[in-house]
Amino acid sequence: MKPNLLKNELKGMEDLATAVFACDKNLIIKYINPSAEILFELSNDQAINESISLFFEEIDFFKDALEQAKTKQSSYREHEYFIKTKQNKTICVSFTITPIEGKEFDFIVEFSQMDQQLRIAREERMFIQQQANSELLRNLAHEIRNPLGGLRGAAQLLEKELDEKSLKEYTQVIINEADRLQNLMNKLLIPHQLPIYKKTNIHEVLERVRSLLLSEFPENLKLTRDYDVSLPEFIGDREKLIQAVLNVARNGVQAMFEDKPAEKMNLYFITRAESQIVFHKKKHTTAIRLDIVDNGPGIKKELLDKIFYPLVSGRESGSGLGLSLAQNFITQHNGMIDCSSFPGNTKFSIILPIENNLIINEVKK
């Protein structure tokens, strides 16, 4: 950090994903950026001109770190340090303390939440894996479609030459199985159809999915809606979003039905606004968060990291394509999808950016 840092220069830190605050030699907070407000669950008004003890339950270690940074006149770094906040919340962070020569403050402290870094790394791995899987399946589908059409055509020609009805049953088996595989290939190629982006309301998408599910499972499905109706419209492909949400929700309902078909199945649609959230290596000022929660048997631990891979399913009757397609459609909206699960509670979280410049530029073209 440059010497003689002025307070207005700190304004550039307001868009950082990492939490930053500045304090004076008496450990009085003089500046806090939005990411620090979120991390420590304190507003700017609550923090300014207060002691750093407002942030930490125990500050002796932190005082020592500040003293070391001041004595050596160089940055002090600590990795994987656990902090217990005033909100009784324990967070794992790495932090850097930098002494500066300022009129209003003497130290800049930057925090990086470790679980956030791990989540970002996991997202990146999932994104790379999804792209690789998508390309592999697209090539595989194209390679299979041509000989599949030839098999079906040959079976039809053979059927015309056969007089015996019992033999025609075999050609029908070939034709029907070829059609079934053709439908599977079409599903594999769906994600590569170009999206049609328009202004979209997330609740219209959810209401469409709701009506489809209630018509498919009319008797013992209870679908609870908890909507934040203040959420604005965003740019998206309505049909692909409907299909993505339907795939996730139907997956949950089918799992509940297979586990306890006679009991009440509870499904929840929850929407909220997310502020200052980071995903796909980019910080988004505002995003839409959709949680789809069911009370089914849960996803086996060994499958949890693989459920978005194509042809991987936790159900014997599942094709293993629904969640892979859902992830692909959400990725096309520069969003992300994640899952947490234990018996009785499985939650899929979909996050979609509201200000989506990449998509807006495509729409303008």
Q: Which domain holds residue 317?
A: 195-365
My answer on whether 351 and 261 are in the same domain is: yes
Residue where a domain terminates, one of 78, 96, 116: 116
Distance CA 136, CA 59 (A): 53
Residue where a domain terminates, one of 71, 89, 116: 116
* Degrees, nearest 5: CA angle 323-335-80: 100
Q: Report helix, strand or coil for 60.
A: helix
pLDDT at 223: 92
My answer on whether 79 and 219 are in the same domain is: no
My answer on whether 206 and 107 are in the same domain is: no
My answer on whether 209 and 350 are in the same domain is: yes
Number of domains in the chain: 2
* Residue 109 neighbours by CB distance under 10 Å: 23
3-state SS track over 140-179: HHHHHHHHHHHHHHHHHHHHHHCCCHHHHHHHHHHHHHHH
Instruction: Give the Å distances, CA to CA, from 342 to 242, 246, 251, 301, 317.
Output: 26, 21, 15, 8, 21
Distance CA 293, CA 315 (A): 18
Residue 159 belongs to some domain of the structure: no
What percent of the chain is helix, strand and coil (3-state, nearest 5)?
A: 45, 25, 25
Residue 172 belongs to some domain of the structure: no
**Residue 175, class by beta-carbon neighbours within 10 Å (0-12 exposed, 13-18 middle, 19+ buried)?**
middle
How many angstroms separate the first and last alpha carbons of the chain?
42
pLDDT at 355: 74
Residue 243 belongs to some domain of the structure: yes
Residue 222 belongs to some domain of the structure: yes
Angle, nearest 10°, between helix axes 114-161 and 165-189? Answer: 150
Task: Indicate whether this model's pTM tops 0.75.
Answer: no
Residue 182 belongs to some domain of the structure: no
Each of the 365 residues of the chain gets a pLDDT tens digit; together they read: 333 444 555 666 777 778 888 888 888 888 888 888 887 878 888 888 888 887 776 677 778 888 888 888 888 887 767 776 666 666 777 788 888 876 678 888 888 776 655 565 666 666 666 666 666 666 777 677 778 888 888 888 888 888 887 788 888 888 888 887 777 677 666 655 677 888 999 999 999 999 989 888 777 888 999 999 999 999 999 988 998 999 999 988 988 888 776 677 899 999 998 876 766 666 677 889 999 999 888 888 888 777 877 766 666 655 667 888 888 888 888 888 888 888 888 999 999 988 765 555 555 55
| HSE-up of residue 325 (Cα within 13 Å, Cβ side) | 27
